[in-house]
A = this chain, B = another copy of it.
């Protein structure tokens, strides 16, 4: 189990990660960092890991992998109405890791962290004994008591999502089946957009303040709209969703026109990293207007109803669908 040094963890940290360290991290020369929320604020904590071969392709560019590992956590922070403050990194490397890979990874990590204003505060580097795993624990900040919870929607609330749904799921399919018939009519720009949505989450940090001011409940869509909606509602609440109102990109609209059955992938595929939330009907317009000012589209896709049934998705042809245990899961 124990053995002599193979590669200096201290050396790797000093070279690749110390330049990313934020205040409180003491240049990563210590085993711990300090962080203090602003007066009158709570820290919001979340942790999400990505694993090679499960959450990303092992041959994805290392900078993209870093961006995904950070993005899936930033997305959680934003959905809680919080502002990111910093993160801890647990990097488990396979035996065949290379310095090139690590250089690309740390460069991408640093870029994504700087964009989000979310510096590295510490972490751990270990051998994984198998696939690479990148675990991030992220700290954000909200005014005291203002975190937007997941299970707090009320019957009658409108259900909303930011951006567009399903692009990442189709981007993943396209990567697995580049010759898929449904993609034949997509030009290179549309194909690239879908691929990019899978590869690079775009956490909705700019939506956080409006979510905090208006949403009665919120979460990010990471495991598919249908499954995440069911999780958000919890016991005693259901929903009716107008599938025609679910916002789709031009690429996804075209793909669906070519193969209508793709709507299942759109509604249950993962990796959207949009914000799913509820608002009271009276707040909907103000919420939408504030998000529009932040450059983020908001679509109202249904309403919270009473009951313990899974959410009902009303299709354009009048049929109603439910998506139960078939929801996407990374686990």
Q: Which residues of A contact B (CB under 8 A)?
A: 1-10, 26, 29-37, 41-57, 76-77, 79-80, 82, 86, 88-90, 92, 121-131, 133, 135, 137, 139-140, 142, 144, 147, 149-151, 169, 172, 176, 219-220, 231, 234, 269-270, 325-331
Q: How far, in whole Å, are A320 and B78 apart by their CA atoms in the complex?
A: 57
Taking CB as reference atom, which chain B residue is nearest A149? B30
By the criterion CB–CB under 8 Å, are A137 and B57 in contact?
A: no
Q: How far, in whole Å, are A1 and B270 apart by their CA atoms in the complex?
A: 11
User: A34 contacts which chain B residues (CB < 8 A)?
Assistant: 42-45, 142, 147
Taking CB as reference atom, which chain B residue is nearest A90? B135
By the criterion CB–CB under 8 Å, are B122 and A46 in contact?
A: yes
Q: How far, in whole Å, are A58 and B50 apart by their CA atoms in the complex?
A: 22
User: A77 contacts which chain B residues (CB < 8 A)?
Assistant: 32
CB distance from A164 to the nearest CB of B (A): 18
Contact A128:B128 (CB < 8 A) given known A31-B219, A45-B32? yes
Contact A92:B123 (CB < 8 A) given known A1-B55, A29-B151, A329-B9? no
Contact A54:B135 (CB < 8 A) given known A121-B45, A124-B47, A150-B29? no
Q: How far, in whole Å, are A325 and B5 apart by their CA atoms in the complex?
A: 7
By the criterion CB–CB under 8 Å, are B151 and A47 in contact?
A: no
Which of B6, B48, B131, B231 meets A124, CB within 8 Å?
Answer: B48
